[in-house]
Structure 1
Amino acid sequence: MAAIEFYCPHWGSENIAWATFFEQVKEAGYDGIEYGVAYTALEAELDEVWNGASKAGLKIIAQHYDTVDADFSMHYDRYCAWMEKINPYPLVKINSQTGKDYFSFEQNKKLIEAAAQISGNVVHETHRNKFSFAAHITKEYLEKIPDLKITLDASHWVCVAESYLEDQQSAMQLAMERTDHFHARVGYPEGPQIPDPRVNEWQYALNKHLAWWDEIVAQKKNINQTVTITPEFGPYPYMVHDPVTGSPIANQWEVNVFMMNLLRKRYSKD
């Protein structure tokens, strides 16, 4: 049976000391962390993170997210520099939020090819504002770049399309076939994150996403490939806050642990 590994997002826990964070992650039952590495991250920080994770028995998925330059030449250079910096570190894979929605196909393709040349272990996250911001756009990339693998975060596509993609089934099917990692966050037609997946009012949205995740997991199990999942409900502004008190209406950490336990139980039945 293929293994299933769960990764805790560091996003939302930036104010916690690394040692404390690793202890909490381990205690919650995660297999590792997904760590958004800033372009400005220093080698000392990276060493601290990797040494701490190793001591705690945790694996790392490195996440690229902050190459934002509108000038393509500068963007390309910074993107490649980030890849070169992170590549020597032991990691499960690199999850990259790649390119821009306003770059041309050829420009974004150049970034995808550069990542593959530097590391053979890069998956490209479906994300608003990036090349993969919508299902129908990403479909073209997947069709034209046979080796392209993605991190499926369908919550973004649901928000962009303002639907549960019922009329884009061919795009979703191809995306699921090329998914090598996925983010277990639930979106809805008016936003990329429902307030709380534990309440009845949001079960329809949750079930829509579960159907996609079920198919991905089944495909991976058929070829005995490890499934990696990051429950990635985020903090404010993804997490809705009470407009009067400014307090989040749900606890981000608890929601992500809930999602991990829900999926662990669901996929341990086979």
Structure 2
Amino acid sequence: MDISFYAPQWGNTLPFDTFCKNVKAAGYNGVEMSLPFDEKEKQEILAVIADHDLKLIGQYWQSFERDLSEHLVNYEKHLRNLIAADPVFINCQTGKDYFSFSQNKILFDLAKRLSEESGIAIIHETHRGKCLYAANITEDYLTRIPDLRITLDISHWCNVHESLLEDQQEAVDLAIAHTAHIHSRVGHSEGPQVNDPRAPEWAEVLETHLKWWDKIAQIHSKNNTQLTVTTEFGPATYMPVLPYTQLPVGDQWEINVHMMNLLKKRYQVF
């Protein structure tokens, strides 16, 4: 099937050229990241990505403003900055969990207009604190805005609902049907990220996530559409840490590469 893998720039502490060199050598197709507003700095980043024959997924996450008018201005500013870089698409942590449906819809409508103007797809991530923070809330949005396409980071919902969503199958299935992009982090009922998905104590949790992702892969294979995956296990303190030292209990890069190779083998990507 047509599937490509992206590395998160989130958590990288290496020089950007070294990071991109490692991303390419590991077998990724590109990187997912936000971009600075400084034009010179942005062009330097884009040049390094191109030099390593990598693709870019633009990432927006800076939805901080409580006032909707201010929020809308900055939302458009960030999206236009990413659009100018001509990414494969933009993954957007849209809105706030405390905005009303009508408030968040204003943001969705703006993203749709910018996408139609530019030809760059803008999709919306399921993320705590943002508009699509819960399974039932997302079900309502997808029902009322049926053309909405999402990035499914279902690890957040496991945390929000303190479960593996056994009692919300209809909401999960609807989200899967609308998924264009996956963040393949493994969450659990008490957190958005297990310490290491290779550990045997997480086998059931990992298998549950894999079955969700399998359904998405099957849909894209049947429709002959490209599926993209960012292996977005995060750094400390998103990665669990030891007390006092705050040292991470796992290796973010190693775990993300493991997740990519696991999914490549599962979906027979060579």
TM-score by length of 2: 0.96
Q: What is aligned with 1:108?
A: 104
Q: What is aligned with 1:195?
A: 195
Q: What is aligned with 1:22?
A: 20
Paired residue type of 1:249: V
Alignment partners' CA distance in 2, 1:158 and 1:267 = 24
Alignment partners' CA distance in 1, 2:74 and 2:246 = 36
Q: What is aligned with 1:6?
A: 5
- Report the more deviating stretch, 46-55 or 25-34: 46-55
Paired residue type of 1:158: C
Match of 2:89 among 71, 89, 93: 93
Q: What is aligned with 1:227?
A: 227
- Report the more deviating stretch, 235-244 or 124-133: 235-244
How big is the shift at 1:115? 0.8
Query: Is the contact between residue 3 and residue 269 of structure 2 (CA under 8 Å) also seen in structure 1?
Result: no
Q: What is aligned with 1:162?
A: 162
Paired residue type of 1:27: A
Paired residue type of 1:101: D
Alignment partners' CA distance in 1, 2:131 and 2:104 = 6
Query: Is the contact between residue 11 and residue 36 of structure 1 (CA under 8 Å) also seen in structure 2?
Result: no
SS, match of residue 45 in structure 2: helix
Q: What is aligned with 1:262?
A: 262
Paired residue type of 2:246: G
SS, match of residue 228 in structure 2: strand
Q: What is aligned with 2:56?
A: 60
How big is the shift at 1:50? 1.3
SS, match of residue 119 in structure 1: helix
Paired residue type of 2:157: W
Alignment partners' CA distance in 1, 2:6 and 2:196 = 19
Q: What is aligned with 1:240?
A: 240
Query: Is the contact between residue 236 and residue 247 of structure 2 (CA under 8 Å) also seen in structure 1?
Result: no
SS, match of residue 180 in structure 1: strand
Paired residue type of 2:37: A
Alignment partners' CA distance in 2, 1:41 and 1:241 = 32
SS, match of residue 115 in structure 1: helix
Structure 1 residue runs of 4 or more that deviate by more than 4 Å after TM superposition: none
Alignment partners' CA distance in 2, 1:3 and 1:76 = 35
SS, match of residue 181 in structure 2: strand
How big is the shift at 1:269? 7.7
Alignment partners' CA distance in 2, 1:250 and 1:62 = 27
How big is the shift at 1:155? 0.2
Q: Which runs of 5 or more residues in structure 1 are unaligned?
A: none
Q: Per-residue displacement from partner, 1:48-86 (whole Å, max 9, x unpaired)?
A: 121111111000001100121001110011101111122
Are 2:79 and 1:80 aligned?
A: no
SS, match of residue 19 in structure 2: helix
Alignment partners' CA distance in 2, 1:75 and 1:85 = 15
Q: Which runs of 5 or more residues in structure 2 are unaligned?
A: none
How big is the shift at 1:36? 2.7
Q: What is aligned with 1:138?
A: 138
Query: Is the contact between residue 97 and residue 125 of structure 1 (CA under 8 Å) also seen in structure 2?
Result: yes
How big is the shift at 1:244? 3.7
How big is the shift at 1:45? 2.1
Alignment partners' CA distance in 2, 1:171 and 1:249 = 33
Query: Is the contact between residue 126 and residue 132 of structure 1 (CA under 8 Å) also seen in structure 2?
Result: yes
Alignment partners' CA distance in 2, 1:45 and 1:167 = 47
Q: Per-residue displacement from partner, 1:14-39 (whole Å, max 9, x unpaired)?
A: x32111111010011100000133xx
Does the C-alpha gap of structure 1 residues 269 and 182 become closer, same or farther in structure 2, counting only changes over 3 Å? closer
Q: Per-residue displacement from partner, 1:128-153 (whole Å, max 9, x unpaired)?
A: 00010000001111001121000000
Aligned length: 266
Are 2:139 and 1:172 aligned?
A: no
SS, match of residue 103 in structure 2: helix
Paired residue type of 2:39: E
Query: Is the contact between residue 63 and residue 96 of structure 2 (CA under 8 Å) also seen in structure 1?
Result: no
SS, match of residue 91 in structure 2: strand
